[in-house]
Amino acid sequence: MAKSSTQASAPASAAFEQSLDELEALVARMEQGELGLDESLAAFERGVALYRNCQGALDQAELRVRKLLDPEAPDSAEPFEADTP
């Protein structure tokens, strides 16, 4: 039996959270300074991939918000401004 598209892939927010958690753990390991050169290079390469994954997810989320704010012209939608106390 075929799975529906929502069952076949994890939600984007879960994938983002997982990538972010892994990236934070990786950075913590690297900051300890106990990795060898090869391990450091592999960790850096993985970190770059995780960063790009997270950035892509954030870009997609921003695009979705812009489309919700102004479906006719998402590029002209004003970005959110954080409320400052």
The whole-number pLDDT of residue 81 equals 66
Average pLDDT, the chain: 81
In this structure, which topology does domain 11-70 adopt according to CATH?
A: Helix Hairpins (1.10.287)
* Residue 71, both tokens: 């479906």
Question: CA 44, 48, 12, 79: dihedral to nearest 10 degrees?
Answer: 130
Q: Is the pLDDT of residue 3 over 60?
A: no
Global pTM reads 0.67
The whole-number pLDDT of residue 52 equals 95
Q: What do you get for the CA distance between the two ends of the chain, in Å?
A: 53
Q: Identify the CA nearest to 26 among candidates 53, 2, 4, 1.
A: 53
The whole-number pLDDT of residue 45 equals 97
Rounded distance between C-alpha atoms, residue 55 and residue 51, angstroms: 6
Apex 26 CA angle, 65 and 42, nearest 5:
110
In the block, which residue shows the tokens 């972010």? Answer: 20
The whole-number pLDDT of residue 9 equals 39
Q: Is the pLDDT of residue 61 over 80?
A: yes
